[in-house]
Amino acid sequence: MNDFEVHASAGTEFPIQPLPQLEQVQLQSMLDWLSTYGADLQGGVTRLLYDQAWCKAQHALAKKMQEKGLTPAFDQSGNLYGTLNGNRTGAGMGKGIEEAPIVTGSHIDTVVHGGKYDGAYGVVAGVLALEYLKNHFGTPKRTLQVVSLCEEEGSRFPFAYWGSRSITGASGLEEVQHLKDQAGITFAQAICNAGFGPDSGHRTASHTYGAFIELHIEQGQVLERLGHSIGIVSDIVGQKRFSITVIGEANHAGTTPMAWRKDALAGAAEMITAVRSIALEAGEPLVATVGRVTAEPGVGNVVASRAVFSLDIRHIRQESIDRCWQDMLQAFSRIAAEQQLELNWEEHLSVTPIPMNEQITADIRSICEMEQLSYIHMPSGAGHDSQIFQPVCPTAMIFVPSRDGISHNPLEYTAEEDLMKGFRVLVQLLYKYGYGS
Ligand code: HGY
Ligand code: MN
Ligand code: MN
């Protein structure tokens, strides 16, 4: 789909709507409520795909959707939809051809010890936006949906964007079913234990969207530092994620001379230092991160036989990501050869940089101007489900500020008045596409 059909059907520009009592919507309290699912002792939130906290949160959300007059439904991946049915059945598109719904939402899963806003804000805002529109403007002409995407982070299994990729058909269960989490549980066991998967009786995940709009915290500090309320996302960075495995030889810490060791962890440490120096050499906006390192046998008086570290490379241009990976692989190979170590790697994720839909972006800009909200167009350094949807349906993202730019951390915070400004833009946009002519 290249033409953005919603805009065509919305016809000429029409003014934004007065939104009576919008400020009374209890967005903060619903966010606080959702954050109790997976609340951890460090004050953060941990909800991992198909784990108990995740299951309880999705089912509690389904109940809330029902209470708010939306029709809840799960798909086989565990994505949860709340639907506000429109009264137009493909008018002007030939009898009985249902128009694809306009969908908003985000992901329900988190990183380990994450914050309460990443993903959850877009889900909660979507539920409350549809409830508000139903209560104040009745049945829309075009069906509106909110989706609580089952997984985006890749925190439990070495695979990210499972929710959106299973919807667009970019990935299927056969691709992930053998993956294991750190406890050795397979993806196939986890999805079945959570009550989803092909034998669950839920409908397939594949679904056609007329458009996807994601409201999300910025997770950086550009908006706060520049003093803007809204970020209109121009592009989302591309990224590559790997597991790098270094294999040496376990040996006695006391009797093995330094020159005779095959120390996997010492080798990995030198490689990780090279990641940082190559990324600094490449310069902004390239970022490369090693977030996890494991060593075997992992005891203090044994030279490590094996070390595994994660690698996450991002940039707004694909060729810069590719070149950085090649430079790093060259450095890793040199270090491995010098220290007589074996080097293996596995690529878990490769998503290309992608611009957001221009028409929706222009509509968001118009709404910000008419609502007198200060905004800037900006790239996203974080990955999002929106980059999975954009290739198959018109997609756009709206950012609100993150205090001190902190995210993926229990200290993640966005002031309520900033949350409500983003919510206001979302409601106006959904009104335009759902109730426009
Ligand atoms: O890692 C990311 O960019 C996102 O928060 N999943
Ligand atoms: Mn995240
Ligand atoms: Mn997110």
What pLDDT score was predicted for residue 97? 54
d(CA 141, CA 15): 17
Please state, in angstroms and as integers, the Cα–Cα distance from residue 334 to each residue in 31, 338, 339, 340, following that order. 49, 6, 9, 10
Q: Which domains does the chain have, with CATH numbers?
A: 22-236+355-435 (3.40.630.10), 238-351 (3.30.70.360)
**Ligand 1, closest atom to CA 312?**
1
Question: Quick check: CB of 220 below 6 Å from ligand 1?
Answer: no
Q: Could you count the other beta carbons within 10 Å of the beta carbon of residue 408?
A: 19
What pLDDT score was predicted for residue 6? 45
d(CA 51, CA 74): 16
Tokens of 371: 């609502």
Tokens of 410: 């229990």
What pLDDT score was predicted for residue 112? 96
| Residues near 18 by beta carbon (within 8 Å), at least 6 away in sequence | none
Q: In this structure, which ligand is nearest to the CA of 119?
A: 3
What pLDDT score was predicted for residue 13? 56
Span from the CA of 399 to the centroid of ligand 2 (angstroms): 13
pTM of the model: 0.89
Please give, one letter per residue, the 3-state secondary structure of 121-165: HHHHHHHHHHHHHHHHHCCCCCCEEEEEECCCCCCCCCCCCHHHH
pLDDT averaged per 10 residues in sequence order, the chain, 437 residues: 40 69 96 97 94 98 98 98 86 57 98 97 98 97 97 96 97 96 97 97 96 98 97 97 98 97 98 98 96 97 98 97 98 98 96 96 96 96 97 97 97 98 98 89
- Pocket-testing residue among 111, 218, 316, 388, ligand 1, by greatest number of atoms within 8 A of Cβ: 111
CA nearest 109: which of 101, 97, 100, 118?
118
Span from the CA of 405 to the centroid of ligand 2 (angstroms): 13
